[in-house]
C-alpha cells in the first residue's frame, strides 16, 4: 500500500518528542507509543469528520423508518449534509439520529432523504496524502501535550502548514452553484 502506515505515523509522533522509533504498534498498552497511537486515532477521526473524497459518499439515499426517522446507530457516520432533492433541508446528527434542525424534530416524513455522508475510516484506509496530514496533526497535538515546548510546537505547526498547503493544491474543484464556471470546466475536462 502506498504512503505511510499507522506505525509510521506513530513514529512521527514519537520523533516529535525525541523518543525512539518502535518496530510494532503497542495498541491498548500504557506505553508512550500506545499514547501516540491514540493521538493518531483522534486525528484520523478529526480529519474524517471534515469530509474528504476518500471517506464521503455523495447523495446517499436513506428511507425513513415507520416512525419517519433515520437512525444512524451502528454506522460509522461522522458528519452529514443534505444533498440533491433534500439539499434545502438543514440536517444534522443528534443522538445518532438524523435531526431536522429547521423543524426541531427527528420526524423527517416518508419520502427518501438524500445525504452526503462522511464516515470514519481506519488510518490505513485514508488517501496517502491525507495520512501525511493526519500524522503531522497528531504529532503536533501529541508533542504539545507531552512536553509543552513552544518552540517545538512552532516548528511542528510550520510542518503541518506546509502539508496543508500541499493538500490545497490537490483539492478537486467543487461542484454545484458555488463552483463557478472554472470549476465546472475543470470537471468537464476543459481548461
Q: Give the pLDDT band of residue 148 (cuts 50, 70, 90).
A: low
Q: Look at residue 175 and tell me whether its pLDDT is greater than 50.
A: no
Query: Which residues, in sequence order, are CB contacts of 167 under 8 Å at separation 6+?
Result: 129, 130, 133
The pLDDT of residue 170: 44
DSSP 83: -
**Which of 56-70, 95-109, 150-164 shows the lowest per-residue confidence on average (mean pLDDT)?**
150-164
| CA–CA gap between residue 20 and residue 29 (Å, rounded) | 17
Tens of pLDDT, residues 107-145: 999 999 999 999 999 999 999 989 999 999 999 889 888
pLDDT of residue 3: 80
List the one residue out of 111, 123, 109, 115 whose CA is nearest residue 93.
115
pLDDT at 160: 62
Tens of pLDDT, residue by residue over 83-111, are: 999 999 999 999 999 999 999 999 999 99
Over the chain, what is the mean pLDDT?
A: 83
Q: What is the pLDDT of residue 185?
A: 38
Look at residue 191 in the predicted model and tell me its pLDDT. 42
% of the chain residues with pLDDT over 70: 76
- What is the pTM (predicted TM-score) of this model? 0.73
Mean per-residue pLDDT, 44-69:
94
Q: Is the pLDDT of residue 167 over 60?
A: no
User: Nine-digit cell at 135?
Assistant: 500524522
**pLDDT in the model for residue 161:** 66
Amino acid at each position: 500500500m502506498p504512503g505511510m502506515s499507522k506505525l509510521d505515523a506513530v513514529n512521527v509522533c514519537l520523533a516529535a518528542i525525541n523518543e525512539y522509533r518502535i518496530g510494532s504498534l503497542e495498541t491498548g498498552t500504557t506505553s508512550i507509543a500506545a499514547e501516540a497511537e491514540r493521538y493518531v486515532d483522534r486525528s484520523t477521526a478529526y480529519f474524517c469528520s471534515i469530509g474528504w473524497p476518500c471517506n464521503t459518499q455523495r447523495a446517499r439515499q436513506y428511507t425513513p423508518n415507520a416512525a419517519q426517522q433515520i437512525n444512524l446507530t451502528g454506522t460509522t457516520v461522522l458528519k452529514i449534509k443534505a444533498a440533491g432533492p433534500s439539499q434545502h433541508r438543514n440536517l444534522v446528527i443528534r443522538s445518532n439520529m438524523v435531526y431536522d434542525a429547521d423543524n426541531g424534530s427527528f420526524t423527517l416524513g416518508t419520502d427518501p432523504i438524500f445525504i452526503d455522508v462522511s464516515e470514519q475510516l481506519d488510518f490505513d484506509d485514508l488517501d496517502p496524502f491525507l495520512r501525511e496530514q493526519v500524522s503531522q496533526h497528531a504529532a503536533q497535538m501529541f508533542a504539545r501535550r507531552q512536553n509543552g515546548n513552544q518552540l517545538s510546537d512552532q516548528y511542528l505547526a510550520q510542518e503541518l502548514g506546509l502539508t496543508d498547503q500541499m493538500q490545497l493544491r490537490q483539492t478537486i474543484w467543487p461542484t454545484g452553484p458555488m463552483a463557478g464556471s472554472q470549476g465546472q470546466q475543470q470537471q468537464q475536462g476543459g481548461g
